[in-house]
Structure 1
Amino acid sequence: MSETRYAVIAKDLMEGIASGRYPVGSLLPTEFELCELYEVSRHTVRAAISQLQTQGMVSRRKKVGTRVEAAAPRGGYSQSLATVADLAHLAETQVRSIQQVSHFVADIAQARRLGLEPGEHYFCVSSIRVDRENALAPLCWTDVYALKQYSSVIELAEQHPGQLIAALIEQHFGRHIDVVDQQVRAVLLSAEIAKALNAEVGSPGLNILRQYRDDEGKLMVASETIHPDDRFTLVTQLKREKAQG
């Protein structure tokens, strides 16, 4: 799925703000200048700026311009995810800190919930992820599940905290991720998860189950991530298909 042009521009502007290219308090280039810079229409530029406004990063005033208000999206971390590459990029902005590793044989309940094969041997890497800019408020708790045959990736995950475990399996075992199935649901933070994330017990959270599959549909990796509700916003976009004929 390719991103729309304005979403690409919005992402580039967000990166420019985060890097200091457009410091907080400064003005973004004018609409006309952005149109020339990205070679797009004013409508496309306005749609991109609207995304930044929605996330509290900029404000707009007549005869003044678009002012940078914050270096990061409001309400924690906001991310538009449309491809496997987007997931990999998201991981690069965060640091994984492994909390525990376990090995187990999947029972029927685990298999049904996670998409595993009952009776198969798996390992689970449990970790917290923190934004490089704010280590005091971890973004999430993640449990990553994979077959025992990939267990050597555990050491690699410790050595490369900015890479997805699924991506490390791709690189070192010659596998290829073709699709990621994603399920999102609301949860309340358990005492264990809340303590690890410096959050309030019983407060709302976002649970994201991702199943990484190869081109035959076979499960390579499953991950279950829990975010406190104020630290992550998942942004998706639905695009109407063009009529045929």
Structure 2
Amino acid sequence: MTDPQHVLLAQELIARIQSGEFSVGDKLPTEHELCESRSLARGTVRQALKHLEDAGMISRRRGAGTTVSSPVTMGGHQAFVTSRAGMLSFVRHTRIRHPVTNSVVVDRELAALTGLPTGTEWFCVKGPRVIRESDLPPICWSELYLRADLPYRDMLLTAKFDIANLVRQRIEQEVSATRLAGAVSEALDVESGSAALVVVHRYFDSSDVLEAVGVHIHPADRYRVATSVGSQLTAD
């Protein structure tokens, strides 16, 4: 399947930035120039630039154009995200330590948590999630439930995927409260019964069929959500 035009353009611009063709502080071609040179609609170009802006690679201001701000995607490890690039950053900057894998048949309790159909079989990867290249304690306990026939399952497990993979999906998020117990509290080195937040990511394909679910259980003292509310004007 051919990637959407906005994904192809985003990938091209990312490659040109990372190759050094555009350095930090350089201006990218204007929306008009990108539309003209590639015969693309303005909305398509803006969508591509939004991918780079969400990833923290460019900044856009009215009257100042589009400026390269970083040759790499943004850091951080927010489990509750507001963009596909944020989801990509979460996976790229964290990993499951000593993952355990198995096939599970969904019971009523798991179905209520994940939204997976009761009685269906899924491939599960679970374990404590840590920040890559860090000695800090685990940030959460993660469980990933994947359809066995996913063509890019290995990419999800190894984080070898990019915006093009996530842009094909609709992603739902849900946050709820729980208390840690048993193996999860032991793996996270917190007292059994401690408060925690559960962040569930549900991935739907282009036909709106559920194809993967991520469950991330955070001790309350290791989780924080911060947002800002306001307007931002962008232009060439």
Q: State the TM-score, normalized to the length of structure 1.
A: 0.55
Residue number in structure 2 paired with 1:202: 193
| 1:138 shift after superposition | 0.5
Structure 2 CA distance for aligned equivalents of residues 186 and 109 of structure 1: 15
Residue number in structure 2 paired with 1:92: 92
1:160-179 superposed matches below 5 A: 160=158, 163=159, 177-179=168-170
Structure 1 CA distance for aligned equivalents of residues 206 and 229 of structure 2: 24
| 1:40 shift after superposition | 7.6
Structure 1 CA distance for aligned equivalents of residues 178 and 109 of structure 2: 19
Residue number in structure 1 paired with 2:105: 105
Residue number in structure 2 paired with 1:141: 141
Structure 2 CA distance for aligned equivalents of residues 200 and 179 of structure 1: 36
Structure 1 CA distance for aligned equivalents of residues 201 and 214 of structure 2: 5
For 2:141, the aligned partner's letter is W
Change (3 A) 1:78 1:86: closer
Q: Secondary structure at the match of 2:149?
A: helix
Structure 1 CA distance for aligned equivalents of residues 228 and 195 of structure 2: 24
Does the 8 A contact of 1:82 with 1:236 survive in 2?
A: no
State how many pairs are aligned: 168
Q: Which runs of 5+ in 2 are unaligned?
A: 1-46, 64-74, 232-236
| 1:151 shift after superposition | 9.1
| 1:106 shift after superposition | 2.1
Residue number in structure 1 paired with 2:42: none
| 1:205 shift after superposition | 1.1
Residue number in structure 2 paired with 1:120: 120
Does the 8 A contact of 1:191 with 1:202 survive in 2?
A: no
| 1:129 shift after superposition | 1.4
Does the 8 A contact of 2:123 with 2:148 survive in 1?
A: yes
Identity score, percent? 23
Residue number in structure 2 paired with 1:235: 226
For 1:235, the aligned partner's letter is A
Instruction: Give deviations 1:187-220, integer Å, cap 9, x for gaps.
Output: 1111311210122222211111111111221101
The answer to whether the aligner puts 1:180 opposite 2:171 as a matched pair is: yes
Structure 2 CA distance for aligned equivalents of residues 40 and 79 of structure 1: 31
Structure 2 CA distance for aligned equivalents of residues 91 and 139 of structure 1: 13
| 1:239 shift after superposition | 6.4
Does the 8 A contact of 2:84 with 2:167 survive in 1?
A: no
Q: State the TM-score, normalized to the length of structure 2.
A: 0.57
Residue number in structure 2 paired with 1:219: 210
Q: Which runs of 5+ in 1 are unaligned?
A: 16-36, 42-71, 241-245
Structure 1 CA distance for aligned equivalents of residues 214 and 190 of structure 2: 21
| 1:124 shift after superposition | 0.9
Residue number in structure 1 paired with 2:131: 131
| 1:113 shift after superposition | 3.0
Does the 8 A contact of 1:145 with 1:221 survive in 2?
A: yes
| 1:86 shift after superposition | 0.6
